[in-house]
Amino acid sequence: MTIELKSASKVIRGVTHIKPTSLVLETGHFNVLLGQTGSGKTSLIKLMAGLDPLASGEIWMDGQNVSRLSTQKRNVSLVHQFFVNYPQMTVYDNIASPLRVAGMAKSEIQGRVEEAADILQLRPMLNRRPQELSGGQQQRCALARAIAKESRAVFLDEPLANLDYKLREELREQLPELFAGRGAVVVYATSEPEEALLLGGKTALMDDGVVTQYGTTAQIYRKPENLTAARVFSDPPINAARMSKVGDTATLDTGASWTVSGAAAGLPDGAYTLAIRPHHVTPVPAGTDYVKLSGKVLVTELSGSESSAHFQLGDDGWVSLAHGVHPYEVGEAHEFYMDASHAFYFTQDGKLVA
């Protein structure tokens, strides 16, 4: 099964929510929509689900033009960030509700509900009401409804955002197997780059109502087409600084310079933007090909076994992320080492060149 957007756009009361977007989403892997809050992930999902009308373009599902089809006829499921279940119905009735509306036979409904309940470990709770369940179980109930329905497409709109850390990890691990082999196109919206990497599959990066890049998740992580994509796909945010290149020598505005190698060596002389992920900027030298930077430490954080430090590099705020605990003094200058072999080079208008 496939969902195909053909320059689909969405305009509500004169405000453009989705600019003309073309995209082909397929079954067999997760399709992650990755973007910050307000980038249009939910808008795009609502457009595909048929909850909002198209302003222009077309949407096709399995070679059928569904642009004018009502939500119900598109046969899709949606799992929300909030735990949306019918409050007065039992878990069983909640899972069964779309099947009943579809007019399915009682015995078949029972089979499907029980199968979905088994997969999501809801068997003992089938007779309870949603408000008697924990948050994780309520979301499982919503997921079970989507699975039992066996729809063509399942839209998961930040389904784990309101769960606590442990439940989130647990459910995220299970999600890919839940939908594996079911044939539905699974679309998963998230604002966390880490989730996209963990779920694998393909990722569509979204920014300001448009898909900026689409491809396998690993490929996008390794080669973000532009500076925006690199920023979206990095947490903590990617470090960026203006840089000029003359001959083999690259120089930052702060004066730090090094000899460029690899693809970057072939770039014509001029001004560029350098970007590098925080874990390639460390307080101790890693490898041999490093560049020494110095900046005033602004904020330090310790999370798990990693420590991060925000520091001022010229006009830019940079972040370093390193294993282990490092003795930073807030307000004092500290030396950091950038592994320039992992740097991205963008033109001044943000295109990836090396």
Partner 1 sequence: MKTENQKAWFFVLPVLLLVAFNALVPIMTVVNYSVQETFGNNVFFWQGLDWFEQILRSDRFQAALGRQFLFTFLILIIEIPLGIIIALSMPKKGMWVPVCLVLMALPMLIPWNVVGAMWNIFTLPKIGLLGYFLNDVLGVSYDMTQNPFAAWVTIIVMDVWHWTSLVVLLSYAGLVSIPDAYYQAAKIDGASPWKVFRYIQLPKMKTVLTIAILLRFMDSFNIYTEPFVLTGGGPGNSTTLLSIDLVKIALGQFDLGPAAAMSLIYFAITLLVSWLFYTLMTKDDAQ
Binding residues for partner 1, rule: CB under 8 A, are 46, 49, 51, 71-72, 76-78, 80-82, 84, 86-89, 97-98, 101-102
With 0-12 / 13-18 / 19 or more C-beta atoms within 10 angstroms meaning exposed / middle / buried, residue 186 is: buried
CA distance linking residue 95 with residue 114, whole number of Å: 9
- Output the six-digit token pair for 300: 């330090």
**Smallest distance from the beta carbon of 238 to partner 1, in angstroms?**
33
Other Cβ atoms within 10 Å of 97 Cβ, number = 18
Q: Which is nearer to partner 1, 179 or 233 (CB)?
A: 179
DSSP string, 168-205: HHHHHHHHHHHHTTS-PEEEEEES-HHHHHHH-SEEEE
Q: Which is nearer to partner 1, 66 or 76 (CB)?
A: 76
Cβ nearer to partner 1, comparing 162 with 257: 162
Minimal distance, residue 147 CB to partner 1, in Å:
14
Q: Is 97 helix (H, G, I), strand (E, B) or coil?
A: helix
Would you report the helix, strand and coil content of the chain in percent, each value rounded to 5? 30, 35, 35
Residue closer to partner 1 by CB (options 94, 320) is: 94
Shortest Å, Cβ 326 to partner 1: 43
Q: Shortest gap between Cβ of 222 and partner 1 (angstroms)?
A: 36
Which residue, 17, 14, 88, 78, is CA-closest to 50?
A: 78
* Nearest distance in Å: CB 48, partner 1: 12
Minimum CB distance to partner 1, residue 74 (Å): 9
Nearer to partner 1, 86 or 259 (CB): 86
Which residues are registered as beta bridge partners of 215? 203
- CA 326 to each of CA 164, 306, 308, 329, 339: distance values in angstroms, whole numbers, following the listed order: 29, 9, 9, 10, 18
Q: What is the bridge-based pairing of β-strands 306-313 and 316-323?
A: antiparallel
> What is the nearest approach in angstroms of partner 1 to the Cβ of residue 42?
10
Per the omega criterion (within 30 degrees of 0), is the bond before 87 cis? no
Length of the chain: 354
Minimum CB distance to partner 1 smaller for 49 or for 240? 49
Nearer to partner 1, 147 or 243 (CB): 147
Q: How many CA atoms lie within 13 A of 209 on its CB side?
A: 13
CB-nearer residue toward partner 1: 179 or 311: 179
Q: How far is the CB of 98 from partner 1 (least distance, A)?
A: 4
Pairing mode of beta strands 153-157, 185-190: parallel
